[in-house]
Amino acid sequence: MKKNDTANMVELSYRGMEPVTSLSGVGPHLAAQLEKLNIKTLLDLSLHVPSRREAIELWPGRIPLPEKTVAMQLFILQHRPGKRGYPYKIQARIGTQNIDLIFYHAYPQTLARQFPLDQCVMAWGKPDLKRGQLQVVHPEPIPADQHSLVRLIYPTTEGLRVPRLQRLIKSALAQLPDIEEWLPPQMLINEGWQDVRTSLNHLHATDEVSEN
């Protein structure tokens, strides 16, 4: 093994084995949730791969209601913070219909950022009809830089939602050092294999749907 290969392994071990608490916003409570998934280090996060990918249909807001999760283009009309014991409600429009976005145990500042007033927002969710009013509970905003309607399904645990897990994985990947490929370059070409860094990025990418 070359000297620079050994140095790279040491650097990967040091950076990759840093605890998840080295990421911004990860405190003891979130670290405990991640540990339930056997995630303790940045490398663990990077290797926590989705169990499947789903191509999601765009729902225009018409009846009949879809029976599965769909993508929705929402125009945000009003934020209505819930009084004690009541959910936070966001009034929005989809197509020609009004729809309520319902959030329990909400963080108003986060919702104000994710669903800004008088703006169109793309989100995942499963719409329902309650007392004649369209609603969706805990819709998940689709990142603005996501250019396809593909949803990654990750193994997760109670209290840890997939969007937050994805943000943590993205941060962990950004902090990992460049990984020098140990396989001969010609072997990668002959076999059509990707290098380690590209493979990790593709595992967590949403721009393509794998064939099942």
Task: Give the pLDDT score at 120.
Answer: 95
Task: Give the pLDDT score at 12.
Answer: 47
Task: Give the pLDDT score at 126.
Answer: 94
Task: Give the pLDDT score at 93.
Answer: 97
Cα 68 to its chain centre, rounded Å, is 18
Give the Cα separation of 1 and 49 in Å (integer): 29
Of 65, 68, 114, residue with least CA distance to 94: 65
pLDDT below 50 — which residues of the chain? Answer: 1-14, 209-212
pLDDT tens for residues 149-162? Answer: 888 889 998 888 88
> Taken in order 118, 120, 122, 127, is the CA torsion positive or negative?
positive
> Taken in order 158, 160, 163, 165, is the CA torsion positive or negative?
negative
Task: Give the pLDDT score at 39.
Answer: 93
Contacts of 23 (CB under 8 A, 6+ apart): 42, 168, 171, 172, 175
**Which pair of structure tokens corresponds to residue 157?**
């645990």
Task: Give the pLDDT score at 207.
Answer: 67
Give the Cα separation of 71 and 124 in Å (integer): 5
Give the Cα separation of 172 and 15 in Å (integer): 10
pLDDT tens for residues 155-190? Answer: 998 888 888 898 899 899 888 776 667 778 788 788
Of all residues in the chain, the percent with pLDDT exceeding 90 is 41
Write out the H or E segment, with its range, that includes residue 166: helix 162-175
Task: Give the pLDDT score at 101.
Answer: 97
Task: Give the pLDDT score at 212.
Answer: 41
